[in-house]
Chains A and B, each alone.
Chain A
């Protein structure tokens, strides 16, 4: 089974951001997607998940050969897709517990029976332990008042409960200190098994010390301009993105192109 992205073009508010992305991810594979700010990495993540503001103008996204373009996000979840958000929103008044339960029940394989509230408590307890999270976490409002590290851990907790076939992790390493980064990265490793294909979007190389990708891709101006093995990320770390993009300053690449 594969997640295939074929010549994907997408725009936001009429502005073209993705300009022909090609990528194929198999189950059990870990791909890292790197690139300077503004290159379209997060746009790709949102487009894959079906954010209503991101319009696919041409190209294909296929899971197991079936197109998911045009499906609402919940239908994409049922196809096995997961997105760990870079900035998870908080929802006041919705308890973490009822949210996780809803997420779990909505991503179960079709035909399986929903667990009782007690069975579910056991399922969550085990995942919490795996991510060194406290039970009290369940009695809080969804992401409300969470620290950066708590939010990212909560994302991985959701991934652990939903057991996706394909996970897109959008800058899950950003805003974390070294300890939090290690815990989150270990979580990702535990959660993604041979049944999961991951796309790890990252700006920096540091998370790749913990989560080892087999494939590294570099995105720039809405396209993947370079692909390679793990050594590519090390070269990027040494030489900077300018080595590939040709720009003097990384920041200039982040700015909208002048023409």
Chain B
């Protein structure tokens, strides 16, 4: 049974932890996080504080209930509930409604389970992971918020040497009028393994204020490869908070691809921690905004070891009165000799009322590195439109082609095919004012078998643009 909705306070921290039957150390950790949440300002970095008024929001407007949601998800998830795809988790709010892991992956020791199930099964391991979280409560108010109030989450782990080719998936359906979904995710690729993950976030029914927030701890152990991706199409009045950090060990490689289409407000933090020698990171922030959407992105590439390579590609199109900000930081410590880093932010404004800012920063403490950076915010190019119209394309069709094309140089680099194809399909949907789900793409593909012809980007990003040597 659902209980009364409670505001985000210390009392909720205790009752939440109790209702989830958590050990004392976790309750204590939540309380500590709550103290940070209560004390920290929305933005700690003085470089960024001036943007808070535009992109800030109050989580206090929400209340949380501790108890199971009772919502019908069958129509939404359809045949995914009946085994259309194995290796998938289907979630309605914080509650898992269906999970399936193929026998073959299960027998190899792959985990795909709710956080609290993992906690029960392997408390000491989970505790050790929790103690080494990289989304620190002391470092960010909203990271602390999730650490204090998470009411669900996932634990994903691929054991040593096991290599996945197809993504593990999860679909989250936010049933708007119900409780906020606040999640703690662990995504762990053990040594020499390969982990591929694709999550989709949707809202159900009429749009009312709702909240989805998550902290994601990614761990790429030595020699592993992680491809993580998120497609976000929450409802028009949803607030979306995402804090992610990836710890990349020796010779490991991690990519994180995000497509942000939905929600009223979205705040995403991504920290790539290139901790191992020869580690590699690649981040993608792809967005398409309209109406009065406010998206706030921050990506940090932190090179802590020699021979590390990092890049981040932010690219998006803005319509209406929407606003975005992308804050990108390259940090290369003195020990990280022979590292290469790349940071790019490109935005296209379709209307004069839309606004996009890019705030790139570089902090480089040694000379034996290469860091490149490239940025632009521009209106759609009238000469390109004229050229396409002069080839018979209508004004609308010309615009569509230029806009969809604008995403391609970055989209075509997204490593997971399902994410890449799905992103194309959903971006096109947004252009046409349709809310398309990735599943619709799969249905269509099964019918026609016609994939979009792709032009693969082959250009070496480290060899172009402005260079810092």
Contacts and interface: CB of A to CB of B under 8 A. Distances in A.
Nearest to A83: B390
Given A52-B386, A99-B401, A140-B455, A93 B407 contact: yes
B393 to A, nearest CB: 6
A117 B450 contact: yes
A88 B387 contact: yes
A99 B391 contact: yes
Nearest to A91: B384
A102 B384 contact: no
Contact of A102 (B382, B383, B391): B391
A162 B409 CA distance: 28
A89 B453 contact: no
15 contacts: A73-B390, A74-B389, A74-B392, A74-B398, A89-B381, A89-B384, A89-B387, A91-B402, A93-B409, A94-B405, A99-B401, A106-B391, A106-B392, A139-B453, A141-B408
B405 A93 contact: yes
Nearest to A53: B382
B409 A92 contact: yes
A185 interface: no
Contact of B406 (A88, A92, A97): A92
Contact of A93 (B386, B398, B408, B450): B408
A85 interface: yes
A206 interface: no
A93 B389 contact: no
B38 interface: no
The majority secondary structure among interface residues of chain B is helix
Nearest to B395: A72
Contacts of B382: 52
Q: For A91, A99, A106, which residue has the most chain B Cβ atoms within 10 angstroms?
A: A91
A99 B386 CA distance: 14
A102 B386 contact: no
B388 interface: yes
A52 B383 CA distance: 10
A114 B398 CA distance: 19
B390 A77 contact: yes
B445 interface: no
B378 interface: no
Contacts of B393: 74, 102-103, 106
A24 interface: no
A234 interface: no
B404 interface: yes
A158 B455 contact: no
Q: For B384, B390, B406, which residue has the most chain A Cβ atoms within 10 angstroms?
A: B390
Given A85-B387, A95-B455, 16 more contacts: A51-B386, A73-B390, A74-B390, A77-B389, A77-B391, A89-B381, A91-B384, A93-B404, A93-B408, A93-B455, A94-B404, A99-B388, A99-B401, A117-B450, A139-B453, A162-B391
A103 B406 CA distance: 19
B413 to A, nearest CB: 12
Nearest to A82: B390
B388 to A, nearest CB: 7
B82 interface: no
Contacts of B15: none
Contacts of A142: 405
Contacts of B381: 89
Interface in B142-181: none
Contacts of B408: 92-94, 141
Contacts of B404: 93-94
Interface in B401-452: 401-402, 404-409, 450
Contact of B401 (A91, A140, A162): A91
A74 B397 CA distance: 10
A58 B101 CA distance: 72
Interface in B360-389: 381-384, 386-389
A141 B394 CA distance: 20
A135 to B, nearest CB: 13
A93 B406 contact: yes
A106 B393 CA distance: 6
A9 B353 CA distance: 35
A99 B402 CA distance: 10
A192 interface: no
B386 A139 contact: no
A158 B383 CA distance: 18
Nearest to B381: A89
Contacts of B397: 102, 106
A78 interface: yes
Contacts of A107: 391-392
A98 interface: yes
A104 B266 CA distance: 41
Nearest to B387: A89
Interface string A150-165: 0000000010001000
Nearest to A88: B387
Contact of B391 (A92, A95, A158): A158
